[in-house]
Amino acid sequence: MLKNIFVAFLDNPFIASIVISDLFILLFHKPPFIFSLGMFAILIAYCLFLGQKLAIFKI
């Protein structure tokens, strides 16, 4: 499962670098509230994208 996640990161390096930097900014800095809401929305959208791309729980 981790291999699939790493492959998804390597398939989309630009999006992955944006999301990783977004995560570190949210964790280690205190951005303004509206900006942090937008960044959090980007993180959620990327998680939804990865979930759809990987389809870990196929029925």
pLDDT tens, position by position, for the chain (59 residues)? 678 777 877 887 888 888 888 888 888 888 898 988 988 898 898 888 888 877 766 66
In a domain, 18, yes or no: yes
Containing domain of residue 30, as a range?
Answer: 2-54
In a domain, 19, yes or no: yes
Query: Structural domain tally of the chain?
Result: 1
Q: Where are the alpha helices (DSSP H) in the chain?
A: 2-11, 13-28, 33-54
In a domain, 13, yes or no: yes
In a domain, 59, yes or no: no
User: Within 10 A of 19 (CB to CB), how many other CB atoms are there?
Assistant: 20
